[in-house]
Amino acid sequence: MKLVVAVVQDQDSNRLSNALTKNDFRATKLASTGGFLRSGNTTFLIGTEASLVPELLELINDNCRSRDQMVAPISPMGGNADSYIPYPVEVEVGGATVFVLPIEQFHHF
């Protein structure tokens, strides 16, 4: 058995949730925050048989798209701001960041 942890953008989370349910995958959704952009994203915990992981990865890939997002620059605190250029920077986020972990034991009481 494997635990698949997938960090996806909030905009994709409902579509992915529906696709997981439709394809008989069980999942838990956690509200999370990206460390870099500090904006909300969604983390899915999905426990599944190892043999189903390729199908699951394909499902995640099909339902999550990458987007360009502007990052607001953080102004320098208390320092000399003369050389500071307040241009927003564009970063590409997602489709999905996925970790596949081995499960030592699984219990469902």
In terms of CB distance, is 94 or 108 closer to ligand 2BA?
94
Between 16 and 93, CB nearer to ligand 2BA = 93
Q: How many CB atoms lie within 10 A of CB 39?
A: 12
Q: How far is the CB of 46 from ligand 2BA (least distance, A)?
A: 16
Interaction between residue 37 and ligand 2BA (CB under 6 A) = yes
Of the candidate spans 15-23, 74-82, 90-98, 101-109, the one that interacts with ligand 2BA by CB under 6 A turns out to be: 90-98
Q: Report how far residue 89's alpha carbon sits from residue 46's, in angstroms, rounded to the nearest whole number.
A: 33
Q: Of 29, 32, 34, 35, which Cα lies nearest the Cα of 13?
A: 29
